[in-house]
Structure 1
Amino acid sequence: MLEVTEAAALAAGRWMGKGDKNAADQAAVEAMRLAMDSIDISGRIVIGEGERDEAPMLYIGEEVGGGGEEIDIAVDPLEGTNLTAYGQPNSLAVLAFAPKGTLLHAPDTYMWKIATGPAAADAIHIDASPTENVQNVAKALKRNVEDIVVCILERDRHNDLIAEVRQAGARIRLISDGDVFGAVATAIEGTGIHLYIGAGGAPEGVLAATAMRCIGGCFMGRFNFRNDDERARAEQMSDCDIDGVLDMDCLVRSDEAAFIATGVTDGEMLRGVKYFGQGARTHSVAMDNKTGTVRFIETVYRTGAEKFWVRMD
């Protein structure tokens, strides 16, 4: 499955900085779909590009793979389409998978989210105030509140949240797009991000929750419906209490889940795709809950006939 996110990243990376987010996304979707069909799986897209009538490929319910083990698949072929289009950091090609029937079928609505890494996993709760969560994370990490960095998606709906976090004394890393990165980064040492809070897409919440389940962090969500239609769809799609706290046991009901992301543009967590004439280099993270492993993987693709030296960083 690593080659699936790598294929999407390699295709989308060609559109970096060209200002066309739709072309970048389409390139990623087509490459990911083609790569999936070469794998011996019987996969069903449960988090995808939209409903069948909204997306030509990787739509919710689409069957992918060449036949084999039955699995649920959640995808975001290009998380951060604008980030790629304008050459900004932390754009990713992302997927998660687990045994059939174990990933939440999240509707296309909003979800309030909170996430942190393993060291503070027991210190946060989505129903606690931002101030309480910041203070509890600081205590768990044995740091001053002023040392804590909270990642928040820069949206008008977060103005009060941003003001409270600032008042609490924590620092803030505002991101313009890509909240899967924001949540997962809390569990990767070296990103400098300790806590993620905010409202974003519910499908991206399932992807982030899978990563956090694999790595031992904490993720909680709560649906934030915008209308009755979204609530009705959630009632049809979800086995969880749609008005309650969505914890990782609800979002990812398996100990055999896995999460893979490949960098498209450079960021704190992963380096972006690099092209060099006769080849390309990708940088990925693969998390497997069953084996308890987190692997950072660098792959060099030779696309031309000429031989070349491979550099070790």
Structure 2
Amino acid sequence: MQRQNKTAQRTDISTLESVALAATRSAAVASHPWVGRNDKKAADAAATEAMRQVLADAPGRGVVVIGEGEKDEAPMLFNGETVGNGLGGPDFDIAVDPLEGTSFCAKNLPGSMATIAFAESGTMWSPGPGFYMDKIVVPPQAKGAVDLADPPERTLGKVAEALGKQVGELRVVIMDKPRHQDLIKRVLKAGAAVHTPAEGDVGGSLEVLLPTGSADLLLGIGGTPEGVMTAAAVRALGGDMLGRLAPQREEEADAIRAAGMDVDRIYVRDELVGGDALFAATGVTGGALLSEPRESGGTVLAESLLVSRGEVRRVSHTTFGSMLRMAS
């Protein structure tokens, strides 16, 4: 259910930009030695612990509203975990995936990155026992044009009209999962092009949202942690998003119903993240969005993306040392 904001004053979440960047950079550098070693859990554990150490020293007090890991028993920053030193900073909500694209990392494929989102305290939606959600993400030009209840063909038409394009010019991101076989067929039959990454719907959503991105919308079912983080980026950039819980197993559906939640309810962007928010990511295996960390002349170089206050910034980090020493 949506938690209520108990603070009387609004939080300037932008004061946490440096913390977000430090958290994702540390996670990316810590997980990088595991690239190509076919050990997803070890890479995820390294990223999680490195991020946890940074967040422990964050000013103020943060609560992990939603963390990656419960649905697949991976290492995680757990739901309800409190971080921060409690001094000189705001209360804030956190959504986190220390290693987005664990399979990409394990197989040394492009697209893996460390990700985190912060929002004003009490403004992030908590999906409770729901691990998966159906999503639509569109850029600012198509805000208000979509409805998750529409068939995909109608959605494509609405987005094309909003963007001043023909349906045949649209490029749609849909993860390459068995559950999406029919959706992909229908989108292709309607005339749009489809990009089908094996995983990584946060990265796919960024391709939709960023001015330099190569996609027009994202459709399909992905994780709820990724959904909330995406909503933070969508809100910060003025795009639009709709989400609906989509349990993939009967026990998940039973748990959602037992929690008093409605699997048919469609959540709008501002219900997913209702306050000021920011999003940060650092590349792990490189790709179109971010380069991977690398060593040069006794320094470690990493590239990050920060989405905050309606702006997108690319940040290069240079730190003395070796990735292997930093990760040990």
Q: Please say if 1:159 is aligned against 2:162.
A: no
Shift of 1:275: 2.2
Shift of 1:277: 4.9
For residues 258-273 of structure 1, the aligned pairs below 5 Å read 258-273=278-293
Q: Secondary structure at the match of 1:175?
A: coil
Farther-moved stretch of structure 1 (223-232 vs 73-82): 223-232
Q: Give, in whole Å, the separation in 2 of the partners of 1:55 and 1:199.
A: 20
Q: Please say if 1:149 is aligned against 2:171.
A: yes
In structure 2, relative to structure 1, the CA distance for the partners of 1:184 and 1:105 (3 Å cut) is same
Q: Please say if 1:303 is aligned against 2:321.
A: yes
**Could you report, residue by residue, the CA deviation over 1:48-72 in whole angstroms, capped at 9, with x for unpaired residues?**
1345xx5765111111111142211
Q: Which residue of 2 aligns with 1:15?
A: 34
Q: Which residue of 2 aligns with 1:92?
A: 113
The correspondence for 2:140, drawn from 118, 127, 148, is: 118
Q: Secondary structure at the match of 2:292?
A: coil
Shift of 1:189: 2.5
Letter in 2 for 1:271: S
Q: Secondary structure at the match of 1:78?
A: strand
Q: Which residue of 2 aligns with 1:243?
A: 264
Shift of 1:293: 2.5
Shift of 1:96: 0.8
Q: Is the 8 A contact 2:91 2:120 kept in 1?
A: yes
Q: Is the 8 A contact 1:105 1:237 kept in 2?
A: no
Q: Please say if 1:200 is aligned against 2:222.
A: yes
In structure 2, relative to structure 1, the CA distance for the partners of 1:157 and 1:67 (3 Å cut) is same
Q: Is the 8 A contact 1:41 1:70 kept in 2?
A: yes
Question: Taking structure 2 as the reference length, what is the TM-score of the superposition?
Answer: 0.85
Q: Which residue of 2 aligns with 1:73?
A: 94
Q: Give, in whole Å, the separation in 2 of the partners of 1:203 and 1:89.
A: 21
The correspondence for 1:47, drawn from 58, 66, 76, is: 66
More helix by share: 2
Q: Is the 8 A contact 2:136 2:220 kept in 1?
A: yes
Shift of 1:174: 0.5
Shift of 1:168: 0.6
Instruction: Provide the aligned C-alpha RMSD in A.
Output: 2.1
Farther-moved stretch of structure 1 (59-68 vs 219-228): 219-228
Shift of 1:191: 2.7
In structure 2, relative to structure 1, the CA distance for the partners of 1:55 and 1:87 (3 Å cut) is closer
Question: Taking structure 1 as the reference length, what is the TM-score of the superposition?
Answer: 0.89
Q: Is the 8 A contact 2:139 2:239 kept in 1?
A: yes
Shift of 1:204: 1.3
Q: Give, in whole Å, the separation in 2 of the partners of 1:72 and 1:188.
A: 23
Farther-moved stretch of structure 1 (27-36 vs 115-124): 115-124
Letter in 2 for 1:260: A
Q: Secondary structure at the match of 2:236?
A: helix
Letter in 2 for 1:194: D
Letter in 2 for 1:280: V
For residues 277-296 of structure 1, the aligned pairs below 5 Å read 277-288=297-308, 291-296=309-314
Q: Secondary structure at the match of 1:124?
A: coil
Q: Is the 8 A contact 1:114 1:221 kept in 2?
A: yes
Shift of 1:173: 0.5
Shift of 1:227: 5.1
Shift of 1:276: 2.4
Q: Which residue of 2 aligns with 1:29?
A: 48
Identity %: 40
Q: Secondary structure at the match of 2:34?
A: coil
Q: Which residue of 1 aligns with 2:14?
A: none
Q: Give, in whole Å, the separation in 2 of the partners of 1:6 and 1:209.
A: 21
Q: Give, in whole Å, the separation in 2 of the partners of 1:56 and 1:296.
A: 28
Q: Secondary structure at the match of 1:18?
A: coil
**Could you report, residue by residue, the CA deviation over 1:115-158 in whole angstroms, capped at 9, with x for unpaired residues?**
11112223222111111122222222222222211011001111
Letter in 1 for 2:202: V
Q: Give, in whole Å, the separation in 2 of the partners of 1:56 and 1:268.
A: 27
Q: Give, in whole Å, the separation in 2 of the partners of 1:56 and 1:181.
A: 21
Shift of 1:178: 0.8
Aligned residue-pair number = 299
Q: Secondary structure at the match of 1:267?
A: coil
Q: Give, in whole Å, the separation in 1 of the partners of 2:74 and 2:168.
A: 44
For residues 200-239 of structure 1, the aligned pairs below 5 Å read 200-226=222-248, 229-231=251-253, 233-234=255-256
Shift of 1:218: 0.9
Q: Secondary structure at the match of 1:115?
A: strand
In structure 2, relative to structure 1, the CA distance for the partners of 1:161 and 1:112 (3 Å cut) is same
